[in-house]
A and B are shown apart, each in its own frame.
Chain A
Amino acid sequence: MGYVALADRDHEIEHHDPQTFISKYIWSQDHKVIAIQYGCTAIFVGVIALILSAIMRLQLGFPDTFSFINPENYYQFVTMHGMIMVIYLLTALFLGGFGNYLIPLMCGSRDMVFPFLNMLSYWVYLLSVIILLISFFVPGGSTGAGWTLYPPQAIMPGTPGVDWGILLMLLSLVVFIVAFTMGGLNYVTTVLQARCRGMTLMRMPLSIWGIFIATILGLLAFPALLVSGIMMLLDKVVHTSFFMPAISSMGVDPGYTGGSPVLFQHLFWFFGHPEVYIVALPAFGIVSDLLSTHARKNIFGYRMMVWAIIAIGGLSFIVWAHHMYVSGMNPYFGFFFATTTLIIAVPTAIKVYNWVLTLWEGNIHLRVPMLFSIAFIFTFIHGGLTGLFLGNVTIDLPLSDTYFVVAHFHMVMGVSPVLVLFGAIYHWWPKITGRMYHEGLGKWHFWMTFLGTYSIYLPMHYLGFAGVPRRYFAMGNTDFMPESAQDLNAWITMSALFVAATQILFFANVIWSLRKGPKADPNPWDATTLEWQTPDNPPKHGNWGHELPECHRWAYDYSVPGYEDDFIPQNVPADTAPAGRDHAEVKS
């Protein structure tokens, strides 16, 4: 059994123990250091994207007030905000950050299976981020084509950044995909081959299930973005006509023949929709573990949760064209994709019910990670329900390209995953740094963020119903829009600035904790999963000292009757503690 030997290569790890500062913290092959590198880089670009959104909101809330915002850079900010948030922050932080940190620790292995490839993955990701950031400073600035980069406008004169911005954007995406593929191969192989003894697939914590399936989605879906990126690069650089129709631009014929912009949309969304779940599935998994741990109760319907993750993963590949109801594709496609969209709501709803049922009669501790997790249930239900509206062709047509759509996707894949990310950072902070955070600051951060985001996105739904179009730099004189829409916009902007400023509390907490935070208990939440059972806190290189853990039970033995503690870690043998649920008297 080669995989056990692999997980157990103790002396090999000792042999390669990094000695110097550079091999320990810079060119590190330790999954934990790489995870932190991924995390810091992702949060850094995330802050840039947050600032960009604040500038956009300034323009929308108070038009004609700020002279430094013109239509060109407004579109550049919109584009870069979207692209950074979806790809360079959420994907990178969930999979590169938490995937890297949690997979080996939760599966009980010493490291990723291919540590060198893992290191390479981070540095290539950093390269893609640098290319992305350079595009702000080239002549003409970054691309303003919208994060979907639809041709023909993405590469036609008149769109901001058409000279260099779009080239660097596409190049950066290609580099990112290379980085993701290297990381992804590692995550999949590690989950499949390097689990410790006793860690069967069905004993894995749901965090790992979410990350694992999301990685598979990413590996199969990112090629679609790669294909469309390469073909668009060729259209731009050598003037092929994959996507570019016969078109004349400002009286000049750029020489394109009859390509198909809709073809790009199909390829883009074949990536783009699974991408939603690449971000959502790790969030689902992590939030399941957070809820269970802080409610001191086993997750409700573990097997159902696993199957729901798998089902969502499979279905996510056949819903893509619900982003394209107004693209001019064959209208009959719409019926098919509306149906699949409603079907994918079923496993998703199962997950929501199970989260709520996990809380039912739980011993809920309203610590900071738990607050974020419960808030996630609210925002996710909210964003999910508006998704049911938009998934139906007849409702989508009038709502398409309005603020209703903006409100929907920010609720469901902006706010919700970010709440989980914050929850996860607070939850694993004591393990990652060995120090506690400031509980009070954390709670202030939570409440201001949670209420603030509601105050941003709830009114946007009404703007959408009123028909206010998205993507516009300024609304101009339109009869159908009531005066009050502008007041609402101003309110939304105030809230957005408030939420953006609130994030300072988070960074203050980080700094406080790193400088003055009390030393954390190795298992401050009394959690069962293996990462809390490491001999050192934070875990050292190789994670487990000399002996690998053995897994004897699932990750959710909380409040098992007849046991002194209200949790039994996964590495406690079956004969020294109650052997699980079905031997226990279940309280009726």
Chain B
Amino acid sequence: MLATLLGWLLRQSFNTQPWVAEAVDEASYQAPFNAKPKLVALTTFLAVATSFFALILSAYSLRMELGDWVPMTEPQLLWINTGVLVLASVAFQWTRNVAVGGRMSQVKPGLMLTGVLTVAFLVGQVIAWQQLFESGQYITSNPSNAFFFLLTGIHGIHILGGMYVWARATARSLGGRDVDAVRHSVELCTIYWHFLLLVWLVLFGLMLST
């Protein structure tokens, strides 16, 4: 990630002669990314979140090697939750496609469906926690449990953050105005949902395999 960034910065700066003054020339002045500012901000935020999750995972892999680690058995419910989250991502992609295609009447049900699926995922996660509590596995039982609760919790908080933007977009779409704003929100949310799905798949895969 960092390497890409550095490469891009070097490409921007290589072979230029900044000390030569030139008239403003549209051709020589390209926007660094042909994107809307919110997309740039979201991408930057995804980099931050990636760094965040990657660091927890590196802590996970270092902590795993110590003597007191007992691998935990993940609740089977997580498979269903994963499926629900995949469906939420697919639903968002569909909503985005209809929004970009201009069929705004279908955006409302699309957003609703996504919301229901995402809430279902979160509820499923909470139920998985309760199943663990009932079987006597608490956050302090073992470091593997502690990481399980930490990772699922933090992932859930990120989804809740996304739900805030989703709620605003939904409220706007119900109002029926700001079609462009709704479309833009839906596009950004879709990227974010895919990202969180990817993060979840990585987390889940890691927890299953260890």
Interface residues of A (CB under 8 A from B): 1-3, 6, 113-114, 181, 184-186, 188-189, 192-194, 197-198, 200-203, 216, 219-221, 223-224, 226-227, 230-231, 234, 238-242, 246, 255, 257-260, 263, 266-267, 270, 298, 302-303, 306-307, 310, 314, 317, 550-554, 556-557, 568, 573-575, 577-583
A3, B41: Cα distance in complex, Å: 13
| Contacting residue for A552 out of B6, B23, B63, CB 8 A | B23
The interface residues of chain A lying within 8 Å CB-to-CB of B150 are 230-231, 234
Q: Give A553 to B21 CA distance when docked, in angstroms.
A: 4
Interface string of B14-33 (1 = CB under 8 A from A): 00111111111010110111
**B140 neighbours in A (Cβ, 8 Å):** 238-241, 255
Q: Identify the closest chain B residue to A575 (Cβ).
A: B23
CA distance A291 to B97 in the complex (A): 53
Residues of A within 8 A of B59 (CB): 227, 231, 242, 263, 267
User: CB distance A220 to B29 under 8 Å?
Assistant: no
For this complex, 19 residue pairs linking A to B, each with C-beta atoms less than 8 Å apart, are A3-B37, A181-B48, A192-B32, A193-B37, A198-B29, A201-B12, A203-B18, A219-B48, A220-B2, A220-B47, A227-B59, A234-B146, A259-B66, A263-B63, A267-B55, A310-B6, A310-B9, A310-B10, A554-B21
Q: How many A-B contacts are there with CB distance less than 8 Å?
A: 173
- B134, CB-defined interface residue at 8 Å: no
Inter-subunit contact B2/A192 (CB<8 Å): no
Residues of A within 8 A of B56 (CB): 227
Chain B residue at minimum C-beta to C-beta distance from A573: B23
Interface residues as binary, B48-85 with A (CB distance below 8 Å gives 1, 0 otherwise): 11011001100100110011100000000000000000
Cross-chain contact B48 with A220 (CB below 8 angstroms): yes
Size of the chain B interface, CB-CB below 8 angstroms? 50
Report B's interface with A, CB cutoff 8 A. 2, 5-6, 9-10, 12-13, 16-24, 26, 28-29, 31-37, 40-41, 44-45, 47-49, 51-52, 55-56, 59, 62-63, 66-68, 139-140, 142-143, 146, 150, 154
Evaluate whether A220 and B51 lie within 8 angstroms (CB atoms) in the complex, with A192-B33, A200-B29, A234-B139 already known: yes
The 9 closest A-B pairs by CB, nearest first: A553-B21, A223-B52, A581-B19, A240-B146, A580-B21, A198-B24, A258-B68, A574-B21, A202-B18
In the complex, what's the smallest C-beta–C-beta distance from B104 to chain A, in angstroms?
Answer: 22
Given contacts A298-B19, A551-B24, A568-B21, 13 further A-B contacts (CB under 8 A): A1-B31, A2-B31, A6-B37, A181-B45, A198-B29, A219-B47, A240-B143, A241-B143, A242-B63, A302-B18, A314-B6, A553-B20, A556-B19
- Of A1, A260, A317, A577, which contacts B63 at CB under 8 A? A260
How many Å lie between the Cα of A224 and that of B54 in the bound state? 9
Residue numbers in A under 8 Å from B36 (CB-CB)? 2
User: If the complex has contacts A1-B31, A2-B36, are A227 and B55 also in contact, measured as CB distance less than 8 A?
Assistant: yes
